[in-house]
């Protein structure tokens, strides 16, 4: 029986253990205009779980303040008061975030009996939170800070579950509009700096929270401009139109006792350390966008001196990372559970975007003479090295997460992509459901495929314009390509395993299959992959493995060259056909985008929970290049036969016909794998 009202909604407390009376009871009580919320104790449990495991990535709430907000809401519900709708939306959004990343064991609560329950609850709570926000925020002056927090959380969840989708961009724009309604972009303007002009509730905690939420929205907006899709090359938050100081590098329990002049140095680890480094990444991307030409299919910068200048910004940001974010062996023994994940996400964010900055030079040929050739060779190497580092970091953290799902323990011994065993604390949340890492890996996967596919002909290299260069690869370059092919097979197997664990991974795989089938040619015989030097992300250290046993024989090289020449001939003969297919594909994409814009946005259409199996996995459709789903595959660093669940065949015969194909491929890829 409903106990209270949220404007046009009725709200009641569900007595079922999981906090939502749905499919597990065999009945459906999803009445129009009725919101069933979890009990007070359940809400407190889920809030604490959010603070422990999701807050390190989204520190846009204040624990003590939110707890009091929760208590006041349930007190009002018990008195049958007219409730604040945005508070209910925030409680549901926090619960949805906690549920989405929930996994059994490793010291977490047992509120859910299985992963399927948790994911289904997350979808439902997100739907209800969005319904509340959309249907109670139409009147002028109804924006609240809790509403802005709820919009930002729903945006984060959409990105996590779907990548840089249309829904994610819609929710982000809603959070930005709600923040501007409250003038969060002017928190530290000269007018508001005068105590006489401050509202009565503007205590130091509230001011600091407003800075956090505004900077979170602003950075997300800048990163979206470098993520492909309709917002490619643009952003909405102008630095000259905001007056907001950086958030302080302090913990939540220090906020109430600090004055405006107190702040901690960046080398001291706090709850805000990750957040502040993310701001720096966003500022670099904003500078790159300002220097790019709008309207290009890709964020390309014509002035190579600017490319080098921006590369120095990325390089400096990597070297300036605090020790606990720079290398794994600098992590303290008693570190927080989420510190390792924060380290990986920051390095992925810098490395993947640095690789994209240099991506236009990926297919430049080694050995070009002169200063210009030297610089472009360096860009090509930076792109490849950064991408390979992304693959190594992403695979390692995901393997640990999949391992925990199979056998929960306090620690997990994993094997890195180079075969080195390492003992790590298990992640505090289901990292394999985190769309950021999956998108980084998917984009890296295609970069590696482009690099290996460019060997389809000894005469198949792009020049600075649209032409091709002549030239032969040396032995080192061939060995390097073989090693990259080996790493490509590994990341494909990981993505294949993730396809049944994460909806965003499943969607990316479907899109990659459809996109890359346009660029396939008859398979070419591959050489045996050698092992290469192990290096840390900063390029230091590492041991060298023996190559001699894996070197290709001379006759194998000759066979490979013959196969490469055959592939080049195939490529030349069918170039016109590929151009026609490309035009047809573009027309289909435009039609799909028009249909998507015509679809009703509210209420949202999240991934149906009834598509999951009992383990909370999302089956993939049957296809020639996507085997039937199976149990998650935990990969080691060595060779050997690939597991049954593999996507290796997707890249057989991968080739591109011209620089136009190259540019269009990445434009499409960025649309699907956008990272914000």
pLDDT digits (tens, 9 = 90+) for 221-260: 999 988 877 888 889 999 999 999 999 999 988 887 777 6
With a cut of 60, say whether residue 53 has pLDDT above it. yes
| DSSP-assigned letter for residue 626 | B
With a cut of 90, say whether residue 570 has pLDDT above it. no
Domain assignment of residue 494, yes or no: yes
Where residue 416 falls among pLDDT bands split at 50, 70, 90? Answer: very low
**Closest-CA residue to 428 (of 530, 540, 531, 341):** 341
Mean pLDDT of the 126-150 span: 84
Distance in angstroms (rounded) separating the CA atoms of residues 655 and 652 = 9
Distance in angstroms (rounded) separating the CA atoms of residues 22 and 674 = 34
**Closest-CA residue to 331 (of 269, 419, 240, 415):** 269
Distance in angstroms (rounded) separating the CA atoms of residues 181 and 150 = 15
523 and 659 in a single domain? The answer is yes
Of 93-102, 157-166, 380-389, minimum mean pLDDT range: 157-166
- Quote the percentage of the chain above a pLDDT of 90: 28
The helix/strand count (H/E) of the chain reads as 19, 7
Predicted local confidence at residue 591, as pLDDT = 65
Mean pLDDT of the 539-568 span: 43
Mean pLDDT of the 480-492 span: 78
Identify whether the C-beta of residue 226 lies closer than 8 Å to the C-beta of residue 288.
Answer: yes
Q: Under 8 Å CB-to-CB from 144, ≥6 apart: which residues? A: 84, 86, 182
Please identify, among 164, 179, 204, the residue that sits at the C-terminal boundary of a domain.
Answer: 164
Alpha carbons within 13 angstroms on the beta-carbon side of residue 482 total 23
Residue with token string 């907001």: 244
Predicted local confidence at residue 319, as pLDDT = 93
Structure token digits, residue 601: 């946005």
- Quote the percentage of the chain above a pLDDT of 70: 55
Neighbours of 340 (CB within 10 A): 23
Identify whether the C-beta of residue 564 lies closer than 8 Å to the C-beta of residue 478.
Answer: no
Please identify, among 115, 140, 164, the residue that sits at the C-terminal boundary of a domain.
Answer: 164
Q: What does DSSP say about strands 411-415 and 468-469: parallel, antiparallel, or unpaired? A: unpaired
Domains held by the chain: number: 2
Please list, residue by residue across 560-577, b when 16 or more beta carbons sit within 10 angstroms of its beta carbon and e when fewer do. Answer: bbebbeebbebbeeeeee
Q: What confidence tens digit (pLDDT) does each residue in 430-455 have? A: 777 888 888 888 888 878 877 776 65
Identify whether the C-beta of residue 447 lies closer than 8 Å to the C-beta of residue 387.
Answer: yes
**Closest-CA residue to 617 (of 21, 70, 103):** 103
Predicted local confidence at residue 667, as pLDDT = 64
Could you tell me which residue, 170 or 446, shows the higher pLDDT? 170
356 and 501 in a single domain? The answer is yes
Domain assignment of residue 209, yes or no: no
Which of 61-65, 260-264, 539-543, 635-639 has the highest average model confidence (pLDDT)?
A: 61-65
Domain assignment of residue 214, yes or no: no
Residue with token string 């449990």: 45
Q: DSSP 3-state assignment of 512?
A: helix
Domain assignment of residue 445, yes or no: yes
Predicted local confidence at residue 482, as pLDDT = 77
Mean pLDDT of the 186-210 span: 74
Distance in angstroms (rounded) separating the CA atoms of residues 215 and 277 = 12
Domain assignment of residue 614, yes or no: no
CA 32 vs. chain centroid, Å, equals 34
Long-range contacts formed by 582-587: CB under 8 A, 24+ apart: 582/518, 582/660, 582/661, 582/664, 585/518, 585/668, 586/664
Domain assignment of residue 619, yes or no: no
Predicted local confidence at residue 623, as pLDDT = 30
Predicted local confidence at residue 652, as pLDDT = 53
Predicted local confidence at residue 138, as pLDDT = 59
Mean pLDDT of the 57-77 span: 94
Distance in angstroms (rounded) separating the CA atoms of residues 501 and 532 = 31
Identify whether the C-beta of residue 508 lies closer than 8 Å to the C-beta of residue 434.
Answer: no
158 and 299 in a single domain? The answer is no
Domain residues for the domain of 48 are 1-164
Of 178-192, 215-229, 474-488, 535-549, minimum mean pLDDT range: 535-549
Neighbours of 513 (CB within 10 A): 17
Domain assignment of residue 287, yes or no: no
298 and 160 in a single domain? The answer is no
Q: What confidence tens digit (pLDDT) does each residue in 304-319 have? A: 888 889 999 999 999 9
Domain assignment of residue 310, yes or no: yes
Q: What confidence tens digit (pLDDT) does each residue in 94-132 have? A: 999 999 988 876 656 778 888 888 888 898 899 889 989
Identify whether the C-beta of residue 341 lies closer than 8 Å to the C-beta of residue 427.
Answer: yes
Please identify, among 129, 145, 164, the residue that sits at the C-terminal boundary of a domain.
Answer: 164
Predicted local confidence at residue 40, as pLDDT = 92
336 and 476 in a single domain? The answer is yes
Which of 92-101, 491-500, 649-658 has the highest average model confidence (pLDDT)?
A: 92-101
Distance in angstroms (rounded) separating the CA atoms of residues 207 and 414 = 43
Which of 310-319, 423-432, 466-475 has the highest average model confidence (pLDDT)?
A: 310-319
């Amino acid at each position: 029986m409903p106990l209270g009202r949220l404007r046009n909604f009725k709200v009641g407390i569900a007595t079922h253990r999981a906090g939502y009376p749905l499919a597990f009871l065999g009945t459906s009580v999803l009445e129009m205009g009725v919101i069933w919320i979890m009990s007070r104790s359940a809400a407190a449990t889920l809030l604490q779980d959010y603070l422990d495991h999701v807050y390190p990535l989204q520190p846009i709430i204040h624990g003590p303040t939110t707890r009091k907000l929760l208590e006041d809401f349930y007190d009002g519900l018990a008195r049958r008061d007219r409730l604040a709708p945005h508070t209910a939306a925030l409680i549901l959004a926090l619960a949805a975030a906690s549920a989405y990343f929930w996994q059994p064991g490793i010291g977490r609560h047992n509120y859910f009996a299985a992963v399927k329950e948790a994911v289904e609850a997350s979808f439902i709570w997100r739907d209800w939170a969005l319904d509340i926000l959309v249907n109670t925020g139409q009147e002028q002056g109804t924006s609240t800070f809790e509403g802005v927090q709820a919009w930002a959380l729903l945006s984060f969840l959409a990105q996590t579950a779907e990548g840089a989708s249309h829904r994610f961009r819609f929710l982000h724009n809603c959070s930005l509009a709600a923040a501007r309604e409250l003038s969060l972009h002017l928190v530290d303007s000269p007018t508001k700096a005068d105590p006489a002009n401050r509202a009565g509730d503007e205590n130091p905690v509230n001011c600091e929270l407003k800075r956090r939420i505004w900077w979170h929205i602003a950075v997300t907006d800048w990163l979206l401009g470098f993520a492909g899709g309709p917002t490619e090359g643009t952003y909405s938050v102008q630095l000259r139109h905001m007056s907001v100081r950086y958030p302080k590098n302090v913990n939540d329990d220090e906020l109430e006792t600090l004055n405006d002049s107190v702040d901690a140095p960046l080398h001291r680890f706090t709850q805000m350390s990750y957040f502040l480094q993310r701001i720096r990444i966003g500022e670099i991307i904003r500078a790159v966008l300002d220097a790019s030409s709008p309207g290009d299919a890709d964020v390309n910068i014509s002035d190579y001196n600017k490319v080098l200048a921006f590369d120095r910004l990325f390089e400096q940001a990597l070297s300036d990372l605090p020790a606990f974010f720079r290398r794994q062996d600098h992590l303290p023994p008693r570190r927080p559970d989420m510190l390792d994940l924060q380290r990986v996400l920051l390095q992925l964010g810098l490395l993947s975007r640095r690789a994209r900055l240099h991506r236009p030079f990926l297919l430049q040929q080694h050995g070009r003479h002169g200063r210009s050739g030297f610089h472009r060779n360096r860009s090509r190497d930076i792109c490849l090295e950064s991408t390979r580092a992304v693959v190594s970091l992403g695979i390692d953290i995901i393997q640990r997460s999949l391992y925990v799902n199979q056998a929960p323990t306090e620690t997990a011994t994993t094997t890195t992509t180079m075969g080195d065993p390492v003992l790590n604390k298990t992640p505090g949340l289901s990292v394999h459901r985190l769309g950021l890492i999956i998108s980084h890996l998917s984009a890296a996967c295609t970069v590696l495929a482009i690099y290996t596919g460019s060997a389809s002909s000894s005469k198949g290299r792009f020049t600075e314009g649209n032409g091709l260069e002549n030239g032969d690869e040396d032995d080192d370059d061939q060995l390097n390509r073989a090693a990259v092919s080996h790493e490509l097979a590994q990341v494909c197997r990981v993505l294949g395993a993730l396809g049944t664990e994460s909806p965003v991974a499943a969607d990316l795989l479907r899109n990659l299959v459809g996109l890359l089938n346009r660029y396939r040619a008859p398979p070419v015989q591959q050489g045996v992959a050698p092992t290469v030097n192990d290096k840390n992300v900063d390029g230091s250290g590492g041991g060298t493995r023996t190559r001699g046993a894996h070197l290709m024989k001379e006759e194998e090289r000759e066979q490979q060259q013959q196969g490469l020449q055959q592939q080049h001939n195939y490529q030349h003969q069918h170039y016109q056909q590929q151009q026609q297919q490309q035009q047809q594909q573009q027309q289909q994409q435009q039609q799909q985008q028009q249909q998507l814009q015509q679809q009703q946005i509210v209420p949202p259409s999240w991934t149906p929970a009834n598509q999951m199996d009992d383990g909370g996995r999302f089956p993939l459709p049957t296809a020639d290049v996507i085997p039937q789903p199976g149990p998650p595959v935990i990969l080691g660093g060595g060779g050997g036969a690939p597991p049954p669940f593999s996507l290796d065949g997707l890249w057989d015969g991968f080739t591109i016909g011209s620089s136009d194909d190259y540019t269009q491929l990445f434009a499409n890829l960025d649309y699907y794998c956008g990272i914000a």
